[in-house]
Amino acid sequence: MHEQGIQVLLGTIKKLLRRDATSNLVKLLAKIHPADIAHVLRYLDSTEQKTLFNLIRDNEKAANVLSELEWNIGAELLEQLEMDAAIAILHEMADDDSVELIRNLSEELADSILAAMKNEHSEELEQLLGYDEDTAGGIMSTDVFSLDQSLTVRQAIEALQDSEDFEMVFYVYVTDDHNHLVGVLSLRQLLTVPPSTLLKNIMTTEVLRVRTDMDQEMVAEIVAKYNILAIPVVDDKGKLMGLITVDDVIDVMRQEATEDLFKMAGASEEELMYGNQSFKIARSRLPWLLSTLLGGVVTGSLMWFYRMTLEQVVALITFVPVITGMGGNVGGQTSTIVVRGFATGRIDFTLIRQVFFKELRVGLIMGTVCGLVIAGVAVVWHQNFYLGLVVGIAMAVAISVAACMGVLATSFFKRIGVDPAIASSPFVQTVNDITGILIYFSTATVFLAQLR
């Protein structure tokens, strides 16, 4: 449903909620797609969310709605249900979605739900909960369709016809007697060979796979790179453990992109869960602001160090904001490009040297153009050729250094295992302010005799 339709639907639902028109809401919800219900729920307050969710009579639809919501919101809706109702909904969900919800429940309630389930399904959930939530094991579904290599094509097709218990079947994975992943088949292959053919004779033995401990971001890169709809997950012995489908990968990409954007702004995705808790939000932002504050103190110290130069040529202060501002902007652009390159797999450490020199060339070109422009402004404004020369040189060098700093800082963070998105905003901005001031006043000091 498009945005205008959602707004009309939201208005109708709010009106029915105010009137306490329960029967009308039940009929309406039965006709709406789960994704649209989830969209509407985001515009309601917590009380309205719980009221509306409780009116969804179909457990499968309720499960699909929870799968479309942020996990913390879904967990809040699940927590207010009776235990039996919550378990009934969890049974309708894919294992990976159930696990995400359970992770967001209170520890006591999560343990109670797992204990109450007491069946094979709960054992699978406990197994998935044992994996780190940011790994392939943490996001995979155990509902993976696989067949033994000794089966014939006829038997495989019959098994496929009875595979409605599995989430989706994009590919047919082939295993040996010990459940080791040994091959893969496309559905088309099964339909184009004689029915008596053994699977092991037609399967492709080179199978793209990921291990349970692989980071989810790397999994997303592999799926995007090879344009596949699903990828199998194996343990360290090669046993087939689960499956990650493209819809899970899209969620990972969205999650990682959101996380990177928050970090670039010096904020945290947790702020979405804090609501109106001002102190918690302020506490999450303060570390980055304090690092910028420290950088500002260092910049002020440099200006104090060069105070004799400033006192003798007061006109120099005119261009301080321009030098620092341009350096920060260029550094931010470069670091954003490199962060995105690392995130999409287009840049790795083998290409850093090439990227560095490319950005250096770009910085020199931009610095030269901006330097000539600001030099002309300085000459016309203050009627001093040497002031224009100083400002122009400083601008060209500062922009070139800022472009290189964007590459070096981001690569450094990536190398030491810190998310490079952190480098793009406070760190690069602060460092470029310091280097810009240093370059500007050092150049001015060299030409001080001519500037007087």
101-151 residue pLDDT tens: 888 888 888 888 888 876 656 677 777 888 888 888 888 888 888 899 999
pLDDT over 90 at 424, yes or no: no
pLDDT tens-digit profile of 318-346?
788 888 888 878 887 888 788 778 776 67
Contact predicate 202/183, CB 8 Å: no
pLDDT score for 267:
53
Percentage of the chain exceeding pLDDT 90: 12
User: What would the mean pLDDT of 137-166 be, rounded to a whole number?
Assistant: 84
108-122, 226-240, 399-413 — which one is most confidently predicted on average?
A: 226-240
Phi and psi of 146, rounded to 5°?
Answer: -140, 155
* Predicted pLDDT of residue 164: 67
The maximal CA–CA distance of the chain, rounded, in angstroms, is: 95
Of residues 295, 323, 310, 314, the one with CA closest to residue 401: 323
185/419: higher pLDDT: 185
Q: Which two tokens stand for residue 69?
A: 């919501």
Domains present along the chain, CATH in parentheses: 3-130 (1.25.60.10), 146-245 (3.10.580.10), 271-451 (1.10.357.20)
pLDDT, residue 61, reads 92
pLDDT tens figures, 189-208: 888 899 999 999 999 998 99
On the question of pLDDT at 359 being above 80, the answer is yes
| Interatomic CA distance for residues 295 and 267, integer angstroms | 18
Counting every residue, how long is the chain? 452
Please state the φ and ψ torsions of residue 364, each to the nearest 5 degrees.
Answer: -65, -40
The answer to whether 326 and 370 are in contact (CB under 8 A) is yes
Mean pLDDT for the chain overall: 82
Distance of CA 381 to the CA centre of its chain: 47
Q: Could you tell me the sign of the dihedral formed by the alpha carbons of 192, 198, 199, 203, in that order?
A: negative
- Tell me the mean pLDDT in the region 404-423: 77
Amino acid identity for residue 191 in this structure: L
pLDDT at 160 over 90: no
The predicted pLDDT at position 271 comes to 47
pLDDT attached to residue 130: 81
Strand partners for 211: 234
Mean pLDDT calculated for residue range 213-235: 87
In this predicted structure, the answer to whether residue 211 has a pLDDT above a threshold of 60 is: yes
Identify whether the C-beta of residue 160 lies closer than 8 Å to the C-beta of residue 172. Answer: yes
pLDDT tens for each residue of 64-83 = 999 888 888 888 898 888 88
What confidence tens digit (pLDDT) does each residue in 9-49 have? 888 888 888 888 888 988 998 989 998 899 888 888 888 88
Comparing 44-53, 296-305, 421-430, the range with the smallest average pLDDT is: 421-430
**288-296 LR contacts (CB < 8 Å, sep 24+):** 288/425, 288/426, 289/426, 291/426, 291/427, 291/430, 292/266, 292/426, 292/429, 292/430, 294/430, 295/426, 295/429, 295/430, 295/431, 295/433, 295/434, 296/430, 296/433
Q: What is the side-by-side strand order in the sheet with 171-175? A: 146-148, 171-175, 181-186
133-142, 160-169, 313-322, 366-375: least confident range = 160-169
Beta-carbon contacts of 160 under 8 Å, excluding residues fewer than 6 positions away, are: 145, 169, 172, 187, 190
Q: Is the pLDDT reported for residue 302 higher than 70?
A: yes
Instruction: Give the contacts of 436 (CB within 8 A, at least 6 positions apart).
Output: 323, 324, 326, 327, 328, 394, 398, 401, 402
End-to-end CA distance of the chain: 69
For the entire predicted model, the pTM comes to: 0.59
Q: 168: pLDDT confidence band, cut at 50, 70 and 90?
A: low
Q: Please check the confidence at residue 378 and state whether its pLDDT lies above 60.
A: yes
Residue holding tokens 């404004």? 381
Say which range, 99-113, 269-283, 350-364, 437-451, has the weakest mean pLDDT: 269-283
